[in-house]
Amino acid sequence: MRLHNIQPVPGAKHRTKRYGRGRSSGHGKTSGRGGKGQTARSGSSIRHGFEGGQTPLYRRLPKRGFNNARFKRKVAVVNLRDLEAFPEGAVVDAKALADRGLIRGRFDAIKILGSGGFGRKLTVRAALFSESARKKIEAAGGKAEVPEPAKGA
């Protein structure tokens, strides 16, 4: 096989639609643009939400009050059953959880929940613990530590 012999797999290539090539092509006359008007013209584009000059919906609806969504605290959640993968005596912190793929993306805090059985002696460092998670960790002989927040945070 040489470079000049290479061909696509049969059925992989499709003919392009040929607009404006007569009625029998199936795309003749208006070429799939419908009737007359703004959208039939070349170079036309209508911005998202435009309603032909009528006051758009996003301007008709009332807007009141303050939305706190921008300032919401994002918490990464990890269940105790997921911590069973760590070896006995390990220190489980944000970096260890990220390395195992248990947490991803950006977050403000990590919370450990008490879902699932637990029987390993681990030192778990997280900002938040559910009451059942704390009890299960300490019952297994481990420690549930809350690290000091970074200066300036």
Number of domains comprising the chain: 1
In a domain, 75, yes or no: yes
Kindly report the pTM of this predicted structure.
0.57
Which pLDDT score, from 0 to 100, does residue 67 have? Answer: 86
Rounded CA gap, 31 and 20, in Å? 5
Label residue 149 by pLDDT band (50, 70, 90). Answer: confident
Answer yes or no: is 18 within a domain.
no
Which whole number is the average pLDDT over 147-151?
A: 78
pLDDT tens-digit readout, 86-127: 999 999 999 999 999 999 999 999 999 999 888 889 999 999
Q: Give a yes or no: residue 122 inside a domain.
A: yes
Burial 101-114 (b: 16+ CB within 10 A, else e): ebbeeeeeebebbb
> How many angstroms separate the CA atoms of 149 and 111, rounded?
15
* Per-residue model confidence as pLDDT tens digits over 41-53: 998 888 999 998 9
